[in-house]
Structure 1
Amino acid sequence: MSLQKKITIISYVFNLSNTVRAYAVYDSLKSEYETQVLYADYDHYSKQYVTFDNKNFKSIHVPGYKKNISLMRMVSTVLFGIKSLQYLKRARTDFVYVVCPPNFGAFLVSFFCKKTNIPCIIDIVDLHPESIPLSNKIKKIGDFFGLFLWKKFRNLAIKNADEVIVECNYYKNFIASSFHDKVQTIYIAKQSNLQIVKFETVREHEISILYLGSIGHIYDFETLISLGRGLVKRNIPIKIHIIGDGEKRNWLIENLEVESIPYIYYGKIFEESNKKKIMEMCDFGFNGFKDETSVGLSYKSLDYMDYGLALINSTKEDTWNLINENQAGLNYFADDVDSLINNLVNLAPEDVLLMKKNSRKLFEKYFDRRVFESSIRKKMKELI
């Protein structure tokens, strides 16, 4: 019989990527605790059913969905919460670690843990519904029809939990101040595969910008198009490199072509060595989100910093402040693209090189996997 304490991690989203929060937590704790992960068998990113050949990973069957903003996605996450609770009632565990959202599931599990005196952490990795790209007017209408319940379930989960972790400081703005004493920021992290980061690739005769990740509705591609259009009109060489796919791919490519903005579309790339070759051709990483979203830090920004790309950024608080304080890129407002263009054009090659070096330093100081693992292990030792 194992003498190790048993930890159960519950996360709808799960795969073996080192940027997935649940897997990063599992990997940090598995050597010291008997650690198990409950996950949904429908993959949010590939929109396919998945299972993993590991006795410590327990899949929970849920309905699939095709659109990220849809009734079926809500049904899928609600059923995951109910089935996770049913599993916990049958299982023996000493500690529960819940990745939130889904908010409803976090509420159910945290309530059960409080009732049965099982220590529980809620780890908030996204803000639902605040991160949905809807205007404030539409969100108020949504609240009238029940959208406020989404926030209510998260707030109740926070109240029930013994400790709360947020992946960036910005999220604390959405948590009642009365709970701040039990809230800690542990930044999202990535395991770097790089031995040496090349900084000598500043392209003096071309502004090279990379977009990496999902091509979805929450990202500010309108500014990317406006930026490209403005540079083309000034006869300044530019090339936009795109790695990824999503619902707005056709829209993005059509607008790049209409505006005669040079680009290369690579599609999805998972092999790190292939991604590295493209990254090394670029000097900037585009990290623009729509104003209506509530995002303080993104996984794509970690990739940019890992590879030493200067950021072109609009995300709030954490990333914005780190860039300003460390000269690691350019922040912009979506309603003032002209200032962004002027700032970009006026950069000397040595300025870009300094930004790239500072970007990599930020990664090493705040977002390297070793920093994350140390913080998670320390938190567990405090609670178990």
Structure 2
Amino acid sequence: MKNVWLINPYGTLPNEGWRNYRNVNLAESFSDKGFNVRWFIASFEHRTKAARTENIVFDSFSSEIITTPLYRKNISLSRIYFEYVFGKNLISYVNKNNLELPIVIILVSPSLFYASLIINFAKKNNIKVVIDVLDLWPEHFITVLPKPIKAFSDFLFSPLYYLRNKTLLKADGVVFCSRDFEEKICNKISLSSKLVSYIGTETKDTITKKCYEVVHIVYAGTLGESYDIQKIIDLAIIYELKNKKVVFHIAGGGPLKESVYQASLSLSNLKFHGSLHPVKLDALLSMCHIGLASYASDSSVSMPLKFYDYLCNGLIVLSSLKGEVNEIIESKCVGFNYDANNINQLEGIIDSLLADPKLLKNMSNKCFTLGKNYDYKKQSNEFSSFVIDIL
């Protein structure tokens, strides 16, 4: 049987209580096509920092735990050291256990600080490499820079841009999880073999019937400084004063978790759910009418998972993101775009929807229909077929 290796220290395994990660979906697709799949992953989970100690054989792949040092801060020197050690220990692990080599490696990007180790190993052993671009580094780092320094970010991060471009040019194929990412990369380098394959989500055959006596508005995702969470709390205050039949729901975890929790104690129309199991999150989304994609103005996010989840549950999307999401919302009439930090504009959009229940229902059906395009099985099948064509 032909072997495929997925190399990504991050992500979550099926037994860790989160939704199926991109690699899990890819493993299912490759397994269905007759491949044997291994996923090389770090010895702790990125979000919770919970330890992993044993390799597990799942239905479509086996996990290979690579010993790595722990990091506490996501942007730190210890994170860089973690990545380097992951790459070095992975190659030692393969040699020590005398693993049968694959015909192709799917290497995640970002992988700035270990990709060269993997690619050199692959080239030495005549193994094809396909890079899966899930996020943009160093662009992500720019969002945490002080404002006076941001103007010099291109110069400051030029070695990292060079390193990323060099890595991508060595790959046999590159897959992007959004057209925004493809455009940003391909404006700088020319790639002969590339594909856009969205992460997607599990879609449904029918939309859940919604009650419109009270309109439910939800934000589901990370509770951090880059996500404009305070504006959602401010909206809840505004609509409680208006005495409108609107309930705001916030689900997720992160640095602002305590602030959201405290706000929910004093606001009758703000419900905080914490981090939800995928089944419970789906139940929450299915009863809601509007989904918020509230991001800071300098966010590097392109196609967030919440966008797919909102659509497949028939939620109208209100988004502050630029780029592809913005264009889809406008061209497909599945929501409204607003300027980040402009709470008055967002309030006006919500008021217009509250005043027109028929519009709410019609747009909900459009969202549900469009969501079917982002079925994860369809997207994963396109990804695996692209890889097989390269072999």
TM-score (norm 2): 0.86
Q: Is the counterpart of residue 167 in structure 1 residue 211 in structure 2? A: no
Q: 1:244 aligns with which of 224, 249, 252?
A: 252
2:45 corresponds in structure 1 to: 43
* AA matched with 1:368: D
1:34 corresponds in structure 2 to: 36
Residue aligned with 1:181, SS = coil
Q: Structure 1 residue 229: deviation in Å?
A: 4.0
1:10 corresponds in structure 2 to: 7
Matches of 2:88 and 2:151 in 1, distance apart? 28
Matches of 2:166 and 2:150 in 1, distance apart? 20
2:207 corresponds in structure 1 to: 197
Matches of 1:199 and 1:324 in 2, distance apart? 25
2:195 corresponds in structure 1 to: 184
* Contact 1:330–1:340, Cα closer than 8 Å, also in 2: no
Residue aligned with 1:117, SS = coil
Question: Structure 2 vs 1, CA of residues 317 and 19 (structure 1 numbering), >3 Å: closer, same or farther?
Answer: farther
1:307 corresponds in structure 2 to: 313
Question: Structure 2 vs 1, CA of residues 106 and 67 (structure 1 numbering), >3 Å: closer, same or farther?
Answer: same
* Contact 1:198–1:280, Cα closer than 8 Å, also in 2: yes
Question: Structure 2 vs 1, CA of residues 284 and 110 (structure 1 numbering), >3 Å: closer, same or farther?
Answer: same
Q: Tell me, which stretches of 5 or more residues in structure 1 are unaligned? A: none
Matches of 1:106 and 1:361 in 2, distance apart? 39
Q: Structure 1 residue 143: deviation in Å?
A: 6.1
Matches of 1:111 and 1:33 in 2, distance apart? 23
Residue aligned with 1:290, SS = coil
Kindly provide the CA deviation profile for residues 68-121 of structure 1, in whole angstroms up to 9, marking residues without a partner as x: 233322322221122234445664221111011232222332243345432110
Question: Structure 2 vs 1, CA of residues 35 and 281 (structure 1 numbering), >3 Å: closer, same or farther?
Answer: closer
1:329 corresponds in structure 2 to: 335
**What are the residue-to-residue correspondences of 1:1-384 with 2, within 5 Å?**
4-14=1-11, 15-16=13-14, 19-31=20-32, 32-50=34-52, 51-54=54-57, 56-87=62-93, 91=99, 92-132=101-141, 133-134=143-144, 137-140=148-151, 147-177=157-187, 178-192=189-203, 194=204, 196-201=206-211, 203-204=212-213, 206-254=214-262, 260=267, 262-270=269-277, 272=279, 274-347=280-353, 348-365=356-373, 367-384=374-391
Kindly provide the CA deviation profile for residues 160-219 of structure 1, in whole angstroms up to 9, marking residues without a partner as x: 101100100000232144424322110112234x45321432x34x44211112212321
Residue aligned with 1:346, SS = helix
Matches of 1:147 and 1:88 in 2, distance apart? 32
Q: Structure 1 residue 63: deviation in Å?
A: 1.6
Residue aligned with 1:63, SS = coil
Matches of 1:118 and 1:139 in 2, distance apart? 39
* Contact 1:167–1:187, Cα closer than 8 Å, also in 2: yes
Matches of 1:86 and 1:45 in 2, distance apart? 26
Kindly provide the CA deviation profile for residues 295-347 of structure 1, in whole angstroms up to 9, marking residues without a partner as x: 11011222222222111112232221111111111211114332221122112
* AA matched with 2:75: I
Matches of 1:95 and 1:243 in 2, distance apart? 38
Residue aligned with 1:362, SS = helix
Percent sequence identity is 23
* Contact 1:131–1:292, Cα closer than 8 Å, also in 2: no
* Contact 1:244–1:267, Cα closer than 8 Å, also in 2: yes
* Contact 1:170–1:317, Cα closer than 8 Å, also in 2: yes
Matches of 1:118 and 1:140 in 2, distance apart? 40
Matches of 1:71 and 1:160 in 2, distance apart? 26
TM-score (norm 1): 0.88
* Contact 1:12–1:102, Cα closer than 8 Å, also in 2: no
Question: Structure 2 vs 1, CA of residues 19 and 332 (structure 1 numbering), >3 Å: closer, same or farther?
Answer: farther
* AA matched with 1:126: D
Q: Structure 1 residue 271: deviation in Å?
A: 5.0
* AA matched with 1:227: L
Kindly provide the CA deviation profile for residues 125-155 of structure 1, in whole angstroms up to 9, marking residues without a partner as x: 01123124335643456666x6443333321
Question: Structure 2 vs 1, CA of residues 250 and 149 (structure 1 numbering), >3 Å: closer, same or farther?
Answer: farther
Matches of 1:343 and 1:110 in 2, distance apart? 49
Matches of 1:210 and 1:277 in 2, distance apart? 12
Matches of 1:140 and 1:99 in 2, distance apart? 29
Residue aligned with 2:227, SS = coil
* AA matched with 1:103: L
Question: Structure 2 vs 1, CA of residues 333 and 234 (structure 1 numbering), >3 Å: closer, same or farther?
Answer: same
| Aligned-residue RMSD, C-alpha | 2.5
* AA matched with 2:298: E
Give the length in aligned residue pairs: 374
* AA matched with 1:43: E
* AA matched with 1:295: V
Residue aligned with 1:96, SS = strand
